[in-house]
Amino acid sequence: MRLIPRISTATLVLAVALVGCQGEEQTEIPETLTLISHDSFVESAGDTFDAFTTETGIEVELIPAGDAGSLVNQAILSKDNPLADVLFGVDDSFLSRAVNEEIFEAYESANIDTVDEDLRHEDNLVTPIDFGDVCFNYDKEWFDQNDLEVPNDLDGLTDPTYASLTTVEHPATSSPGLAFVLATIDVYGEDGWLDWWAEMRDAGVNIANDWNTAYYSDFTRYGGGSSIVMSYASSPPAEVIFADEPPETAPTGVIEAGCYRQVEFAGILDGTEYPESAGELIDYMLSVEFQEQIPLTWFVFPANQDAELPPEFVEHTAIPESPARLAADEIAENRERWINEWIGVMEG
Amino acid sequence: MKRIRWGWVAVAAPPVIFIGYFFVYPLIRILVLGLSELSVGASGVEARLIRVGWFTLWQATVSTVLTFLAAGPLTWAVSSFEFKGRRLAMALATVPFVLPTVVVGTAFVALGWQESIGAILAAHVFFNVAVVVRTVSTLWSRIDPRIQEAARVLGASEWDVFWRITLRLLRPAIAAAASIVFLFTFTSFGVILILGGFRYATLEVEIYRQAVTLFDLPLAAALAIVQLVGVSGALYWYSRYQERTAVSWTLERGTNLRRPKGRARTGVLFATLGTLIALAIPLSTLVSRSVTGTYYQALFRDDPVVGVPAHSVLNSLVFAVAATLLATIIGVLAATVITGRSGELSRWFDLTLMLPLGTSAVTIGFGFIVALDWPVDLRATRWLVPAAHALVAIPFVVRSTVPTLRSVPAETRDAARVLGASPFRVWREIDLPIVSRAGMVGAAFAFVISLGEFGATSFVARPASATIPTMIFRLLSRPGQTSFGMAMALSVVLAGLTAAVVMAIDRARFGELGSF
């Protein structure tokens, strides 16, 4: 029993010491930097940050914060006392909200020149790290067996033969679903996109609530009735890598029409005690060393053009040449209206 | 002259502090933050909100009634009879409760049940049968059979005995189970998103959409308040009902299970097998999809992307043990306070403890983010996970303990006091033995709630250690046969683990009877 008061005194001293440490400017290198991101990034990260630790002596602690939307909201809610030093995983659809709330400190990475101009943020408030294309996938075996041509543009898809074989995700409940709706707006413009959807509706397109249902239940490859589903450009390589026995060629292919590009950014959270080290971490994330690990770890494409793609990505998929993309501000302003208009047409 | 009863303060302090710090304080902070920016909502929103509110209410009510109808036969069988496989049946019925919604959703979609209100209701029944079976059978199996025998001797038919005596005596437990099922389905989220889609949004789904997707915090806060008011209303009615209907009678210390004979035997057979088969249909699609490759072995291999999936089992177990200890201690103390004091104060305390079950996970999660950096920064630490799980689990401990505690006649305690026992001794000798058994039911629920990752944890920053449900989710969100197969295999492991834990806890409960 005697021990108890002594322990609490010790804890108190420690606590006071810790509190005393806070609030100082960065005068030395921190032991640990924290990086907050969405669950899927953190859970796959493995040893991808080890090289940074070896190089700088700084440990990187990763904090998962739910999905991409939940991540950005948490960063905004905690902006007076940030949860981490760096945030990674904000994409175009949430970027303008994060920018308006002023959660980021601008930073121009030493490696930014390796990135295509189109991907960069104009004020360097955030740094592009990777991009992924949401694209239609088709079941090669099914198309072979049924002796059917694969459609190669969105207009061709409205043919009832194809539309009734197609599954897309609902834009209100699924992120690839929303991305594809944005793609149709980019392709057909505000005046024409709903007409395209009305044709698809009449021709019998199938709508799934989420990617999971679309891919693992509705796709002919997994026993469903659709041989064309909205998925990712990286899905065919994944089919090869995560197959029971890796096949020679991917069982699925990508249709380049109707792809939408999602870019993911990293940013220094305003209020961090270690802005300089946080900048180094972002430089590392944009270095060839880290960037070349991106495809096989997260199944998206590296933003750094000097990074080489692994053979699976070279052989089994293609990076679409001119994917659709809308400005972050435009998305933030119109998303709710677009979704409602889409629902009006598709669900009447 | 009133003397402060320090014993009571000591018992009441932990639950009050816990619920105050981890629930009331974050909730107030986030609601104030949201409402401070409230302006008049956009036009057209109201119509949708009325539709959403009405749908939330009626689907929860219908789901609760259907769950009772579905759980009735099995509850009767396990409460009245001792038969081979009884404990196994109860454990198996608990399995659906813990499965991640994304897995059950996949199973239901595989069966072709989707995009309909029927699928939603069926899934709600599937998930919640265990709540009714376990909560009600605890009380039912310990009704003194002499009461029913006396009625039979006086000429009552079996039906009369059931309707007029058994059911009346069971009312507190039925109300307890009903309140939990109602709250769970009232705040349904994953099931609705996967099986219902956008058309069938509940308040919970709408709060998530407004807060996370559209970042309309004021509207989300307003919706959260609507949800809280609805839930509080239902709970207030429930707690008055429970107080009014609690009947003190001599509870048997042990259970009163007979061997089924004749017609009863057939009945037990049908009730048990029928329920288990119905529950097994969605589960069997998981099992059959998990054995089409070497997916169980793959769980132990180092996957290039997610690491060794089997490690998630260890992480889940550590969190579950911590959450169970926390929820059981706090819950039993709280139940003691609630039953020891009658009146408004204790009723409000009871209600507050139940509220986390009926509060949207997004609200609580975001509340943690704005509030829990004081006095020490608990955000993104390991402490948050068991605390968040315990918040959802405490109501189960309280609900399974309170009816049992209430049924201890006051005279028993008075007699002990007259004989010179101190309040602590009264508690230890009379309440504790009874409470510990009921508490075990709650503990089992707490454990599986934590295994299933219920509540706010999916919306808060937390330490990076994958649990079983997050690992399943991760595997299910990437393409490839192996990914899918491993997700199914890990789901079967989760189901098996749940069944094993529940059986072990039931057995511990059984063994303990020898000490009386």
DSSP string, B97-159: HHS-HHHHHHHHHHTT--SSHHHHHHHHHHHHHHHHHHHHHHHHTTS-HHHHHHHHHTT--HH
Closest CA to B369 of A44, A131, A72: A72
Torsional class of A46: left (φ above 0), alpha (ψ -120 to 50), beta (otherwise) = left
Q: Which residues contact B115 (CB under 8 A, 6 or more apart)?
A: A209, B195, B196, B197
B195 or B198: which carries more pLDDT confidence? Answer: B195
pLDDT of A3 > 70? The answer is no
Q: Which residue of A has its CA nearest to B29?
A: A77
Question: Reduced to 3 DSSP states, what percent helix, strand and coil does chain B have, rounded to the nearest 5?
Answer: 75, 0, 20
- Give me the DSSP letters along A147-196: T-PPP-SHHHHTSHHHHTTEEEE-TTT-HHHHHHHHHHHHHHHHHHHHHH
Reported as a single tens digit per residue, the pLDDT across A222-267 is 989 999 999 999 999 999 999 888 899 999 999 999 999 999 999 9
Q: Which residues of chain B make contact with A335, given a CB cutoff of 8 A?
A: 214
pLDDT at B472 over 90: no
**Residue whose C-alpha is closest to residue A264's, from A285, A289, A292, A245:** A285
CA–CA gap between residue A231 and residue B290 (Å, rounded): 23
A78–B379: do the CB atoms touch at under 8 Å? yes
Q: Do B109 and A217 touch (CB under 8 A)?
A: yes
Q: Are B458 and A66 in contact (CB under 8 A)?
A: yes
Cα B487 from Cα A162, distance rounded (Å): 31
Name residue B331's amino acid.
G
pTM of the model: 0.84
Is residue B446 pLDDT above 60, yes or no? yes
Q: Would you call B365 helix, strand, or coil by DSSP?
A: helix
Q: State the burial class of residue A291 (Cβ atoms within 10 Å of its Cβ: 0-12, 13-18, 19+).
A: buried
C-alpha–C-alpha distance, residues A43 and B306, integer Å: 6
The single-letter DSSP state of residue B211 is: I
Q: Any idea which residue has 């955000």 for tokens?
A: B379
- Mutation for A interface: B108, B470, B478, most A CBs within 10 A: B478
Q: What pLDDT was estimated at residue A11?
A: 45
Considering only CB atoms, B380 lies closest to which of A69, A83, A172, namely A83
Each residue of B123-175: pLDDT tens digit?
999 999 999 998 898 888 888 788 888 888 998 888 888 888 888 888 888 98
What percentage of chain B carries pLDDT values higher than 90?
A: 25
Start-to-end C-alpha separation, chain A: 71
- Choose the closest CB to B304 out of A34, A62, A296: A296
The answer to whether the Cβ–Cβ distance between B479 and A239 falls below 8 Å is yes
pLDDT above 90: residue A104: yes
Instruction: Give me the pLDDT at residue B201, please.
Output: 85
Q: What is the dihedral of CA A97, A103, A108, A113, to 10 degrees?
A: -30
Listed ranges A251-260, B193-202, B305-314; the one with the highest mean pLDDT: A251-260
* Residue B45: band (very low, low, confident or very high) from pLDDT cuts 50, 70, 90: low
Whether B482 and A347 lie within 8 Å, measured CB to CB: no
Residue B516 has pLDDT above 60, yes or no: no
Residue with the larger pLDDT of the pair A325 and B103: A325
Q: Looking at A38-147, list the stretches that DSSP marks H as alpha helix, in order from N- to C-terminal side.
A: 39-44, 50-56, 68-77, 92-100, 140-145
Helix or strand or coil: residue A230?
A: strand
Best B481, B486, B490 member to test A by mutation, with max A CBs in 10 Å, is B481
Reported as a pLDDT band with limits 50, 70 and 90, residue B249 is low
Average of per-residue pLDDT values in chain B: 84
A34 in contact with B at a CB cutoff of 8 Å?
A: yes
Q: How many helices (H) and strands (E) does chain B have?
A: 23, 0
Distances (CA, A) of B512 to A150, A249, A265, B253: 68, 61, 57, 11
Of B389, B405, B397, nearest to B444 by C-alpha is B397
Spell out the long-range contacts of A22-25 with Cβ–Cβ below 8 A and sequence spacing 24 or more: A22/A273, A23/A273, A24/A273, A25/A273
In order, the DSSP letters of B265-277 are: HHHHHHHHHHHHH
Q: Which of residues 95-114 of A touch B (CB under 8 A)?
A: 97
> For A271-299, what is the mean pLDDT?
95
Residue A14 has pLDDT above 60, yes or no: no
* Identity of the residue in A74, A210, A252 whose CB atom sits nearest the CB atom of B194: A210
Q: Which of B52, B198, B295, B374 to mutate to test the interface with A (most CBs of A within 10 A)?
A: B198
Q: What is the Rg, in whole angstroms, of the alpha carbon atoms belonging to chain A? A: 23
How distant is the alpha carbon of residue B428 from its chain centre?
A: 27
Nearest to A213 among B109, B373, B480 (CB): B109
**In whole angstroms, what separates CA A170 from the centre of its chain?**
18
SS3 A273: coil
The model's pLDDT over B354-401, given as tens digits with 9 standing for 90+, comes to: 999 889 888 998 899 889 988 888 887 888 889 999 999 999 899 888
The span from the CA of A346 to the CA of A337, in Å, is 14
* Closest chain A CA to residue B106: A213
